[in-house]
Structure 1
Amino acid sequence: MATPATTTLQLTERELRLKNLLLDVAAFIDKTGPGETSTESSAPSEPVVLRWAGGWVRDKLLGQESHDIDTAINVMTGFTFARRMQLFCENPENTARHDMAASDLGNLHKVEANPDKSKHLETATVRIFDMDVDFVNLRKETYAADSRNPQMEFGTAEEDALRRDATVNALFYNLSTGLVEDFTGGLTDMAAKRIQTPLEPLQTFTDDPLRVLRLVRFASRLQFTINPAVEAVMADPRVLDALRLKISRERVGIEVEKMLKGKHPRDALALIDRLGLYHAIFTDPGAEANTPLPSLAGWASTYQCLHVLAETKTPGSLYDILVRTEEAQYFAWVLAAIVPWAQVAPPPPPPPPPAPAKGKGKGNAGNVPSKPPPAPVVLALREGIRAPNKLCDVVAGAYKHRDEILDLKLAVLDKKEPDIHERDRFGMAIRSWEARGSNWRLQVLFALLFEVMALAQTAAPESPSPTQVESLLRDWQTFLDHLEALDVMDAPHIKRLLDGKQVAAALGIKPGKWMTAAMDMCMAWQLRNPEETDPAGAIEEVRQRKDEVGITDLLK
C-alpha cells in the first residue's frame, strides 16, 4: 500500500468518546476473534484497523459539524464488527469504563448483501452517542461494461479510496494513528477548493455515470470548482450514453433532489446548463427518437431570477407570497429546472377507436375518445427524474393554467374596469387552479418564470437588462397585490355556506350532475358577498339562473 499524505483533526468530546469505544472493540476482537456467527475465520488475519471515511472527514476539515460517520474496517464486514461491539457492550465493566448509558447504544440495523442493487457485502448502522454510525468493510470494485453494479470484494484503504467519486470524498481518518490519510490528492484539492476524480475521469464516469451528477452536487454544495479536465469529460457522448443506459431514473431523481434541496440550487442548475447535461437528466428516456427537445435559450435567466427572488425575500414580496413552505422551496426549484419544457407543445390526441360493427360491442363505447397523453413537461418530470405525483400535479396544473394566469395578470395591468374588481372572477379562478393542480401559488410562479425565459429569448443573444426584468417583476407584484386587495389569496379554503345536499333540499330536487355548476354559482355568490352568513341569496341566484345550471325542467 502506498504511503498516504497525512494531517491531523481536532475531535469533539463526543467524537473522542466514540473513537475510544471503537478502538476498545477492535482490541476486543483482536483478542477474541470475530465470533461464531461470522463467515470470516475464527480470528482476523491481521489486527483490526478502523477508519472514518469520506464525507465526515471532508466536512470536518471544512469546519462543518457532521453527525453521520462511515466507519471502514479492514478485515471483516460491517455487520460482523457491529455484532461484536454489541457483545462488548453487554459487559457492564466495558460500558462503565466508557460512561455509557443504556440509551447511548441504539439498535443494530443490518443491510443485507444484495448484488442486484450493488450491495455485495453486508453493512450495519447503529446510533451511538446520538450519532448515526455506519460500519462497512474496505472494498475494491470491478465494473462490467453494461452495468453500474460492480463486482465488489475486500480491498485495501488505497483501493477503497480509488473507487470513490472525488478525491475530497476519498479521505480517511485512521482511529489508531489519529491521522487523516490521503491516497488520492484530496488534501491538495481541498486546499484548492477543487473537485477531482481519483482515477482518470472517463474511467470514473463510464464505470458509474451517476458520479457525473454527484460531482455537480458536491461542487455546488461545497462551492468548489470542478477540474477543467474533469469537466471536459462529464458531457462526453460516451458518458451521457452510459448515463442513459446504466442509471435508473430513480437514482437520477435522488441526486437532483439533493441538489435542489441544498443551499446552492442555482449553482447546481448553472453547472448542469454549462456542462450540457440538461437533456440527459430532464428527459423521458422512453420517448421516441424524433421527440422534440426544448430550447435552453433564456433558461439561465430563469434560475437566476428565482435565486434573486429567494435572496431578496421580504414580507409581502413575490417569493414570500408564492413560496410558503419548505416543500414549496424545493418544488419552486424544480419548476425553474423544468420550465424549458413548457415551450414544447403536446402531441395531438390519438383518434378515437373505430366504432364497433353493427350488432357487435356495447352501445357506442367505441366512439369514446382516447385520453390524451400527459404534456411533455410532465413526462420529462415524471419519467426523467421520477418526480412524485404531488409535484407532477403542480406542474400539470401550472402548464394547463399558464395562459389563464397570464390573461388575468394582463387584465389587472390594463386596469380593465369593472372586471378587475370582480372578486368572484379572481376567487373562482384561484379555486379552479388549486382544484386542478394544487398549490396555485406555485402555478403562478411557473407562469412568472416562463415569462422571464420568454423575455430572455426576446433579448437574445444578449441577456435581458436588469431594468427589463425588474419591470416584469413589478407587474407580477402588482397582480399579487391586487389579489391581496380583493382578499382572495385564501379563496380555495373558504368554507361553503351550503353543501350539495342542502342546495338540493332547498331547491326541492334530487341531487345530480347539475350540482357542480350550482355549487360553483353558490361559491361565486359567497365571494361577491363576503359578509353574508345567510345563504338564501345564493339559492335564489341558482333559481334565477336555472337554465345555466340545467335544472329548468326539474324545478316545480
Structure 2
Amino acid sequence: MANPNPPPTITLTPREEQLKTLLLSAAKFIDNHDLATSPPPRDPLVLRWAGGWVRDKLLGTPSHDIDTAINAMTGEAFVDRLRDYCDVPAHRDRHGLLPDDVGRLHTVPRNPDKSKHLATSTIRLCGLDVDFVNLRRETYTEESRNPVVEFGTAEEDALRRDASVNALFYNLGTDQVEDFVGGLADLEAGLIRTPLEPLQTFLDDPLRVLRLVRFASRLGFRIDGEAERVMGDERVLGNLKVKISRERIGVELEKMMKGKRPVESLRLLDRLGLYHAVFTDPERANMPRPDTATWRTAYECLEQLEANKTPGSIYDLLVTSEEARYYAWSLATLTPWEQLPDDPPVKPGKAALPLPTQAAREGFKAPNKLCDVITAAHRHRPSILGFRDMVRENRPGVNERDRFGMAIREWDARGGNWRLQVLFAILVDVQEQIGASKGGASAQEAVLAQWQRLLDHLVELDVMDAPTIKRLVDGKILAKALGVNPGRWTGPALEVALAWQFRNPGVEDPTGAIEEVRRRREELGIN
C-alpha cells in the first residue's frame, strides 16, 4: 500500500546541484584520506543543508543563503579541507568551477556574551553564500547564561532550534528531507512552534521570542498558543533585557522592519507585551515606560498609508526609497514616547537626548543616521505642526514660499530626511487624536486630510526639494559685492539671499539677492 504522506522532495537549481555535487565529492575525498588512518578518528562525513533554506525551498521561495550542518567536523576545519580540494586543477575542471566560484573563507568567531555560541565559517561557492557549522547540542545550566555546546546528532541539533519549521534538514547523501520535530506538519499548518517546551526554550535563549515574531510575520504564520502564552512572561522579558546583546535585538528588529509585513511584527510585539523589553535603555534604572494603549493606531495608520502609493499621496511624497521605508517603520515603533516630557537639560543650554532616541539607540542600537532623524523628528514636531495649522486655518503668510522653503531646509539640515520627520508628526498626531478618542476610520481620514492639504500646499509652492536648491551666491561673491571681508555676518546674509531666491523662483541673476543683503546691511551687522 502506498504511503499516503510521501516525504516531500526538493528540486535543486543548477547552481545548487553543482554545489551539492562539489560538497559530496569533497567530503568523500576528505574521508578517504582521514579514515585510512588506524584507528579511524571519526565517523564518515554526512552533510545536511539546514533550517531556513529547507523551509523556503519547501514553500517555493528562492533562497541564496545555505546553512550546511556537518556531523563529524567543525565548519572551519571542513572549509579548510574543501579549499584544499578545490585547489587541485583536476577537481576544479571536474566540477566546472570558474575562478570566482570559490571565494574567501570568513569565520565568525564564537562570542557567548552575545549569544553566539559556536564559530561559523562562511564562503561563497558556486554563486551562493554557504555557512558551515557542526551539528551540536546545547545544555543550559542555572550557573551560567551561556550553554555548554558539544557535537550532537541531527535530532539534537533540531531540538535546540527556535522553531520546528526552521529545524528541517536536507540530507545531501540521501537526497531526503529529514524531520525530527514535526516541522513538516507545522509548515503545512502555517504554525510557528518551538521544538521543546516554550518557557524553558525562551528562558534559555530569550532572543527566540523575537525570532518567532519575525518568522511569523514574514511567513504569515500563526504562533502556537502555548508559546504565545509565555512569550511575555516577566522572567522571559527580564532575561531578554539582560541576557541578549542589544545589537542582536537590533538585527532582529531591522529584519522585521525591512520585511514584507512589518505591521504584522508590530502587532505581535504589541499584543504579546514585548514593547518595553525592546524599546528601552536597559542600563538606565529610571527609564520611563510610555503607555502603549494607543500605539496600534500609529502603526496601523502607516500600514494604511503604505497601501496607497498613488502619485501625490502622503506615502508617495514622504517615503521615497527602501531605506526611507525602513526608517519610516522604525519611527512608527517610537511614537508612544512622544507622550512623555523631555528629560531635564544635561547642563544649561544643552538639551538632553530625546527619549525616543534613547530608546532606539540603547534599545536596538539604531544606527547614528537613524538616531539623527529620530532626534530631529522629535525636536521639529512643534514647528511642523505649526505649519500644518497655518495651512489648515489659512493664516497670514500661508503663501510665503520663503517661509516654507527655509523651514524645510532647517528641518533637513538638523537631522536629515525632513520628509520622514513630517511622517513621524503625522503618525503621532493620529495616535494622539484618534487613539485617545477611539475615533473610527472617518475621524482618521479627517486628520490625514489636514496633512494631505499641507503636502499639497508644499507641492503647489514647489518647495519639496528645498534642501537641494542651488544658491545663487556664496560668501565670497557677497563679500566682494559689498566690499567687505567675510565674517560673522556671512551665514545670516546667505540665508537672507536664499530666502530672496525662494521668493523669486526661476531667477538666475544673483543681482536681486545681493541687493536684498545690501538693503539689510545694518540689520545684518555688515560694516
Q: TM-score, normalised by structure 1?
A: 0.89
Tell me, what secondary structure is at the counterpart of 1:140?
strand
| Deviation of the 1:174 alpha carbon | 1.1
Hey, what does 2:407 align to over in structure 1? 429
> Counterparts of 1:158-177 in structure 2 under 5 Å?
158-177=155-174
| Deviation of the 1:217 alpha carbon | 0.4
Hey, what does 2:44 align to over in structure 1? 47
Distance change (3 Å), C-alpha of 1:45 and 1:285: same
CA contact (8 A) 2:434 2:443 kept: no
2-side partners of 1:412 and 1:370: how far apart? Answer: 32
Indicate yes or no: 2:491 matched with 1:516: yes
> Counterparts of 1:187-266 in structure 2 under 5 Å?
187-266=184-263
Hey, what does 1:492 align to over in structure 2? 467
- CA RMSD across the alignment: 2.1
> Counterparts of 1:299-378 in structure 2 under 5 Å?
299-350=295-346, 369=348, 371-378=350-357
Structure 1 residue identity aligned to 2:359:
A
Structure 1 residue identity aligned to 2:509:
D
Hey, what does 1:458 align to over in structure 2? 436
CA contact (8 A) 1:49 1:73 kept: yes
| Deviation of the 1:285 alpha carbon | 1.3
CA contact (8 A) 1:33 1:42 kept: no
Distance change (3 Å), C-alpha of 1:34 and 1:331: farther
Structure 1 residue identity aligned to 2:305:
L
Structure 1 residue identity aligned to 2:160:
R
CA contact (8 A) 2:309 2:315 kept: yes
Q: 2:394 aligns with which of 412, 415, 420?
A: 415
Distance change (3 Å), C-alpha of 1:34 and 1:263: farther
CA contact (8 A) 1:194 1:226 kept: yes
Tell me, what secondary structure is at the counterpart of 2:177?
strand
Q: Could you report, residue by residue, the CA deviation over 1:138-167 in whole angstroms, capped at 9, with x for unpaired residues?
A: 011123447553221111111111111111
CA contact (8 A) 2:294 2:435 kept: yes
CA contact (8 A) 2:401 2:461 kept: yes
Tell me, what secondary structure is at the counterpart of 1:150?
strand
1-side partners of 2:393 and 2:143: how far apart? Answer: 59
2-side partners of 1:235 and 1:112: how far apart? Answer: 31
Distance change (3 Å), C-alpha of 1:77 and 1:387: same
Distance change (3 Å), C-alpha of 1:42 and 1:380: farther
Hey, what does 1:11 align to over in structure 2? 12
Structure 1 residue identity aligned to 2:318:
L
2-side partners of 1:236 and 1:118: how far apart? Answer: 20
CA contact (8 A) 2:114 2:248 kept: no
Distance change (3 Å), C-alpha of 1:479 and 1:23: same
> Counterparts of 1:23-102 in structure 2 under 5 Å?
23-33=24-34, 43-102=40-99
CA contact (8 A) 2:114 2:245 kept: no
2-side partners of 1:452 and 1:297: how far apart? Answer: 13
Tell me, what secondary structure is at the counterpart of 1:149?
strand
Hey, what does 1:364 align to over in structure 2? none
Q: Could you report, residue by residue, the CA deviation over 1:467-524 in whole angstroms, capped at 9, with x for unpaired residues?
A: 1112222221111111111111111111111112322332233322222221111111
Q: Which 5+ residue runs of structure 2 have no aligned equivalent?
A: 1-5
Hey, what does 1:358 align to over in structure 2? none
Q: Could you report, residue by residue, the CA deviation over 1:339-390 in whole angstroms, capped at 9, with x for unpaired residues?
A: 111111112225x5xxxxxxxxxxxxxxxx3622111111111111111111
1-side partners of 2:363 and 2:36: how far apart? Answer: 47
Q: 1:543 aligns with which of 513, 518, 521?
A: 518
Tell me, what secondary structure is at the counterpart of 2:90?
helix
2-side partners of 1:117 and 1:488: how far apart? Answer: 47
Comparing 217-226 with 304-313, greater Cα deviation is found at 304-313
Distance change (3 Å), C-alpha of 1:441 and 1:112: closer
Hey, what does 1:363 align to over in structure 2? none
| Deviation of the 1:547 alpha carbon | 4.2
Tell me, what secondary structure is at the counterpart of 2:398?
helix
2-side partners of 1:488 and 1:450: how far apart? Answer: 24
Number of residue pairs matched?
522
2-side partners of 1:147 and 1:250: how far apart? Answer: 21
Tell me, what secondary structure is at the counterpart of 1:19?
helix
Indicate yes or no: 2:163 matched with 1:185: no
Tell me, what secondary structure is at the counterpart of 2:69?
strand
Tell me, what secondary structure is at the counterpart of 2:285?
coil
Comparing 437-446 with 510-519, greater Cα deviation is found at 510-519
How high is the sequence identity, in percent, across the aligned residues? 58
Structure 2 residue identity aligned to 1:268:
S
Tell me, what secondary structure is at the counterpart of 2:49?
strand
Indicate yes or no: 2:22 matched with 1:21: yes
> Counterparts of 1:278-293 in structure 2 under 5 Å?
278-289=275-286, 291-293=287-289
1-side partners of 2:329 and 2:436: how far apart? Answer: 23
Structure 1 residue identity aligned to 2:465:
D
Hey, what does 2:359 align to over in structure 1? 380
Distance change (3 Å), C-alpha of 1:444 and 1:98: same
Distance change (3 Å), C-alpha of 1:144 and 1:515: farther
Distance change (3 Å), C-alpha of 1:281 and 1:122: closer
Q: Which 5+ residue runs of structure 1 have no aligned equivalent?
A: 353-368
CA contact (8 A) 1:30 1:44 kept: no
CA contact (8 A) 1:285 1:383 kept: yes
2-side partners of 1:121 and 1:439: how far apart? Answer: 40
Tell me, what secondary structure is at the counterpart of 1:143?
strand
CA contact (8 A) 1:167 1:197 kept: yes
Hey, what does 2:3 align to over in structure 1? none
Structure 2 residue identity aligned to 1:303:
Y
1-side partners of 2:87 and 2:467: how far apart? Answer: 58
CA contact (8 A) 2:117 2:146 kept: no
Comparing 140-149 with 440-449, greater Cα deviation is found at 140-149
Indicate yes or no: 2:419 matched with 1:441: yes
Tell me, what secondary structure is at the counterpart of 2:359?
helix
1-side partners of 2:63 and 2:385: how far apart? Answer: 46
Hey, what does 1:361 align to over in structure 2? none
Hey, what does 2:502 align to over in structure 1? 527
2-side partners of 1:150 and 1:453: how far apart? Answer: 43
Comparing 225-234 with 380-389, greater Cα deviation is found at 380-389
Distance change (3 Å), C-alpha of 1:72 and 1:375: same
1-side partners of 2:415 and 2:143: how far apart? Answer: 39
1-side partners of 2:507 and 2:308: how far apart? Answer: 40
